[in-house]
């Protein structure tokens, strides 16, 4: 996926307006109220599925390209992630593993 953030926000307003209460955060960003307001909004927010509530709501904005020699793995839960890593011959990273962007030596 390669959408512009503004387009996703507009689709949110169109397809799941009940979730757009996050816009209330604009007024309290960088204030002492930010975390409290965020927690309040998040707790009251309904759960929605991105694919069925956003993408299926606006199919005119979607384009699909065929890709060859690519594997797809839906990593929607930890078990799927572990299964996908096993398929690729990888193991999960642990807290003891060095971060790849840090010099170790």
pLDDT per residue over 57-78, tens digit each? 999 988 888 889 887 878 888 8
Task: Determine the pLDDT at residue 6.
Answer: 93
Q: Is residue 40 pLDDT above 90, yes or no?
A: yes
Query: Residue 103's pLDDT band (boundaries 50, 70, 90)?
Result: low
Q: CA 28 to CA 36: how far, in whole Å?
A: 10
Distance of CA 12 to the CA centre of its chain: 13
Q: Where are the domains of the chain?
A: 5-87
Structure tokens belonging to residue 38: 């965020």
Cβ pair 45, 19 in contact under 8 A: yes
Q: CA 38 to CA 96: how far, in whole Å?
A: 32
Structure tokens belonging to residue 94: 């642990």
The pTM of the full predicted model, rounded to 2 decimals, is 0.55
Task: Determine the pLDDT at residue 104.
Answer: 54
DSSP letter (8 states) at residue 92: -
Q: For residue 14, how many other CB atoms are within 10 A of its CB? A: 13
Q: Is residue 105 pLDDT above 70, yes or no?
A: no
> pLDDT higher for 14 or 91?
14
Task: Determine the pLDDT at residue 97.
Answer: 72
Task: Determine the pLDDT at residue 72.
Answer: 80
């Amino acid at each position: 996926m390669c959408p512009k953030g503004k387009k996703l926000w507009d689709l949110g307003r169109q397809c799941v307006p009940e979730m757009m209460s996050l816009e209330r955060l604009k007024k309290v960003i960088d204030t002492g109220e930010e975390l409290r307001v965020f927690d309040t909004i998040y707790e009251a927010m309904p759960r929605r599925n991105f694919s069925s509530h956003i993408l299926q709501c606006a199919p005119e904005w979607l384009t699909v390209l065929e890709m060859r020699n690519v594997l797809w793995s839906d990593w929607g839960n930890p078990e799927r992630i572990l299964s996908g890593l096993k398929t690729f011959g990888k193991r999960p990273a642990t807290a003891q593993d060095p971060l790849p962007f840090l010099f170790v030596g």
